[in-house]
Structure 1
């Protein structure tokens, strides 16, 4: 229970900090970009360092990087399916999810990680 409370507080503080920085930048859309994912990742890594040590947190950070690369591939595929092939949103996201899974688990398998 304490871990969830720490995550909640740390995530909230970091989200607030990123929102303030994002609000100062132009264009204003950076606020949303910086709001959630980086702050949750930092809070998770901070807790991992405290609970399991830096080596565990380093492995966890690599899996976050693999997920981010897979998300980038997913986004490109969704854009192509929506714009070039005129697929519906549901069909495009389901097909691109297969790409996300393949890339994420391919990177995890190829480069190692805690799966």
Structure 2
């Protein structure tokens, strides 16, 4: 019930956001993450899944920071999108 509710909420969020290509991320990511976590619990147990879920949350936070900095840099400096996103990629990876 909980995972279905979360996926539904993300689907609604995806319908509200523009552009639709960006909104698609909000539809797919939660479903994939929940399926992966379910598989991990089944195969490796709760402890392993807990560690992996923390990693997913940290990765999501890191992506948010990367996307925010990239967006700011693109608006502020009017540089090439490809160059800017590649140059700032280490922010996400760190």
Of 71, 80, 87, which residue of structure 2 is paired with 1:95? Answer: 87
| Aligned mates of 1:26, 1:48 — CA distance in 2 | 27
1:82–1:39 Cα change, 3 Å:
same
Of 15, 27, 42, which residue of structure 2 is paired with 1:28? Answer: 15
Matched residues, number: 85
- Superposition map of 1:30-109 within 5 A: 32-102=24-94
| Aligned mates of 1:89, 1:38 — CA distance in 2 | 27
Q: Select the structure of larger CA radius of gyration.
A: 1
Contact 2:10 2:27 in 1 (8 A): no
Give the TM-score normalised by the residue count of structure 2. Answer: 0.76
| Aligned mates of 1:85, 1:62 — CA distance in 2 | 34
Give the TM-score normalised by the residue count of structure 1. Answer: 0.63
1:81 CA drift (Å): 1.3
1:29 CA drift (Å): 3.3
Cα RMSD after superposing both structures: 2.6
Q: Which runs of 4+ in 1 moved over 6 A?
A: none
1:27–1:95 Cα change, 3 Å:
closer
Q: Which runs of 5+ in 1 are unaligned?
A: 1-13, 103-115
